[in-house]
Amino acid sequence: LARVLSGVQPTGALHLGNYLGALVKFTRLQHETETFIFVADMHAITQWQDPKLLKSQVREIAAAYLASGLDPKVATIFPQSAVTAHAELAWIFNCVARLGWLDRMTQFKEKSGKHKERASVGLYTYPVLQAADILLYKATQVPVGEDQRQHLELTRDIAAKFNHDYEVPGFFPLPEALTQGPGARIMSLRDGSAKMSKSDPSDYSRINLTDDADAIVQKIKKARTDPEPLPETMDELKARPEANNLVGIYAALDGRTSEAVLAEFAGQGFGSFKPKLADLAVAKLGSVGEAMRGYMSDPAEIDRILDAGAARAREVAAPILAEVKQIVGFWG
């Protein structure tokens, strides 16, 4: 049976990109595979997080998981920092990964900005911790958005080098990124060439999971487009980033392909397509936002779910970490 693992950082309100690129896939996969989904609070502190808020941010991501349909009886849902084996394995992997590999990571370049020397060392080694998250459970499949593909390649490189250097062929699997589908790269509503992101200063660039129906409708109405009607073919659509993005969002929300959406709407202008997209988004996201608020009103229940998930994750991780330590020649 394939084992799936993924997570989301508790660093602010989730948006449509996180939902379609990650959460929807988790929910779908949980019934087909053994699924581990964590809240990445150790990753979150690579950039400053207010310690008074961090736990409630973790609960909010857990609430979003549950609201999107993750079932804690089926999937293991837990806070990353509750399973200390993540940090232990990350240290070993810090000694396997090469500086040259990390130097190539584009997300570090983007997130560290102009003053690289002021970024935390943790932000730099973030992909190594991510490799530990995945391989600690010997996960084979990692549902993520396109932006994480490079980090997954690094995880494979670390697994292969560990297996080779310690002469344990096949000990760690080489996990695969699951990035298929139209939701893998949702772009900003203001700029078809930038990804939808929590850190974009314009709230009109994204749809938040907590937005109400009015906000969703307004944001879609104001989304940047061109004056042409929707084309007949995918090639024509791909040449128009904003149009491509809105069709992709429709497809992902409706569980269809962009081709199927084009077949229905080709020839229509945005004056008629946008209201239909807005109706669909309100129908799909409205219930998620409402369910999230419901879960958030009972933090004790969320904590119970997260504690039970952490206990289960520790059980699975412990023997794998023990074997790794033995392979490395550690004392414990």
| Interface stretch with ligand AQP, choices 8-16, 80-88, 94-102, 121-129 (CB under 6 A) | 8-16
The rounded distance, in Å, linking the Cα atoms of 25 and 35 is 11
Nearer Cβ to ligand AQP (58/262):
58
Q: Which of residues 195-224 bind ligand AQP (CB under 6 A)?
A: 195-199
Q: Do 323 and 88 touch, CB atoms closer than 8 A? A: no
Residue nearest to ligand AQP (CB): 21
With contacts defined by CB under 6 A, name the span among 122-130, 179-187, 285-293, 300-308 that binds ligand AQP.
179-187
Give the Cβ contact number of residue 38 at 10 Å.
Answer: 30
The whole-angstrom separation of Cα 223 and Cα 191 is 9
Catalytic annotation on 111? yes
Give the nearer residue to ligand AQP in terms of CB position, either 39 or 237. 39
Select the residue interacting with ligand AQP from 42, 64, 90, 144 (CB under 6 A).
144
186 counts as binding ligand AQP under rule CB under 6 A: yes
Q: Per rule CB under 6 A, is residue 9 in the interface with ligand AQP?
A: yes
- Contact assessment for residue 208 and residue 13, using Cβ atoms and an 8 Å cutoff: yes
Q: What does the alpha-carbon distance between residue 53 and residue 59 come to, in Å, rounded to a whole number?
A: 10
Indicate whether 152 belongs to the interface with ligand AQP (CB under 6 A). Answer: no
The annotation status of 196 as a binding-site residue, yes or no, is yes
The token pair that represents 105 in the structure block: 């990571």
Give every CB contact of residue 151 below 8 A, 6+ residues apart in sequence. Answer: 105, 107, 126, 127, 130, 131
The single residue among 5, 8, 209, 251 that binds ligand AQP, judged by CB under 6 A, is 8
Q: How far is the CB of 21 from ligand AQP (least distance, A)?
A: 2
Q: What gap in Å lies between CA 208 and CA 287, rounded to an integer?
A: 13
Query: What gap in Å lies between CA 165 and CA 282, rounded to an integer?
Result: 52
| Whether residue 198 lies in the annotated active site | yes
From CA 23, how far away is CA 5, in angstroms rounded? 12
Q: Is 147 annotated as a binding residue?
A: yes
Residues 15-44 that bind ligand AQP (CB under 6 A): 15, 17-18, 21-22
Contact 65, 77 (CB under 8 A): yes
Q: What is the set of active-site residues?
A: 111, 195, 198
- Interaction site with ligand AQP (CB under 6 A): 8-9, 15, 17-18, 21-22, 144-145, 147-148, 184-186, 195-199
